[in-house]
Amino acid sequence: MKSPQSLPSIRGLANPTQTPVPALPPLPIDEVLPRIVGGLEDSGLVVLRAPTGAGKTTRVPPAILHAGLVDQPTPRRIMMLEPRRLAAR
């Protein structure tokens, strides 16, 4: 398992069998990705709350996969809950 400090930036990662993906613009979540991964390594659970557009759904799952936290001795899943507010009637 990689330490959070050794994680490369998510920006610019590409599937090696395809044409490289252009570098992604920085998002606010990027600076705390190592802490998120570290929390998952320590306790296996992280609750993340950030404003819309911070990068929660686009950056966190790839960081978890890249850190090797899904295929540990017991395969794990990434579960994301995205509550939606219903309009008042």
The series of mean pLDDT values per 10 residues for the chain, 89 residues long, is: 50 51 85 93 88 91 88 77 65
Contacts of 36 (CB under 8 A, 6+ apart): 29, 46, 48, 60, 63
Say if 84 falls within a structural domain: no
Using a cut of 0.85, tell me whether the model's pTM lies above it.
no
What's the total number of domains in the chain? 1
- Which domain range does residue 8 map to? 1-12+30-75
Say if 18 falls within a structural domain: no
Say if 51 falls within a structural domain: yes
Say if 62 falls within a structural domain: yes
Asked if 62 and 55 touch (Cβ cutoff 8 Å), the reply is no
Say if 88 falls within a structural domain: no
